[in-house]
Amino acid sequence: MSPASTNATTTSDHESATLLDGKGLAGQIEIALRTRVDAIKAKSGRIPILATILVGDDPASATYVRMKSNACKRVGMDSIKVEMPSVTTTEQLIAKITELNNNQDVHGILLQHPVPNHVDERACFEKIALRKDVDGVTCLGFGRMSMQESAFGSCTPQGIMHLLRHHNIELAGKEAVVVGRSAILGKPMAMMLLNSNCTVTICHSKTQDLAAHVKRADIIVGAVGVPELIKAEWIKEGAVVIDAGFHPTENGGVGDIEMRGVKNIASAYTPVPGGVGPMTINTLIRQTVTAAEKSAGLDVSMIS
């Protein structure tokens, strides 16, 4: 076991808990992505392009799309921003997705969640071509990922897995508890941990005695979308704490896990903000680069 792994799983001095710095890791990965983008340009003469679709005028969604566009620029990619009015129908949105599927210059498609309530979001997700599903939102992609076949994983859980691997967090044989069962976070997170040989429990709104489940977890993932629902006093000594939530506050923001004192209990933890969020966007960009490499005929098995 490496020194990093030992510190992250068995440290007795929890003042030295490992900070799982997603912002720092994302910055490191971007350096390598710029090199990969340059190789794609040299090979094909084309620039990797991510198409982002924003339906309606939700300010938070607009901010997320802008952040993703900025990330594209930092690695030398282009982005196409498709903005559609809030009155857009499911049929109109599907037509736009089909158009982007057929556009050979577009390597990845992101439909920003959520869409207006009258739009069938799942039907629209399913129209994204598998080769361009860089956000990992289709049922086909989820099924293939679960069966350990080639597919792009949902970006937040895939980013979490990358962060855990980078810090040599031992997963095999560990008890993992995922709080939340959404289609693009909780469920794929559970399957990725299962595929890494964890014993996985998924908790949700109908779970009896949430605290008891959390207390036995070696790895706890907060993915429920409720501010500080998971209490620090529930976390057992030496656990790895992953907070995938973010809720703005006057002091900057909190996650789904009450983090006060967690660094004195956990062996490793993600900060909020700066932990999971940067890895989500980074994974989207990284998977778009991989899609562009495949389109250009590069050997992605050697570089992804």
Q: Name the nearest CA neighbour of 241 among 250, 260, 39.
A: 260
Active site residue 120: no
Active site residue 92: no
| Cα torsion angle, 100, 101, 103, 104, sign | positive
The half-sphere exposure of 149 on its side-chain side, counting CA atoms within 13 A, is: 7
Asked if residue 28 lies in contact with residue 167, where contact means CB atoms within 8 angstroms, the answer is no
Q: Which residues of 67-100 are buried (b: 16+ CB within 10 A; e: fewer)?
A: ebbebbeebbbbbbebebeeebebeebbebbeeb
User: From CA 258, how far away is CA 121, in angstroms rounded?
Assistant: 31
Asked if residue 186 lies in contact with residue 202, where contact means CB atoms within 8 angstroms, the answer is yes
Annotated catalytic residue within 21, 127, 133, 135: 135
- Can you tell me whether residue 199 is helix, strand or coil? strand
End-to-end CA distance of the chain: give it in Å, rounded. Answer: 24
Annotated catalytic residue within 21, 96, 112, 174: 112
State which H helix or E strand residue 221 sits in: strand 219-222
Annotated catalytic residue within 68, 96, 127, 263: 68
Q: Name the nearest CA neighbour of 243 among 19, 82, 61.
A: 19
Amino acid at 43: K
Query: For 184, which DSSP code?
Result: T
State which H helix or E strand residue 101 sits in: helix 90-101
Active site residue 135: yes
- Active site members: 68, 112, 135
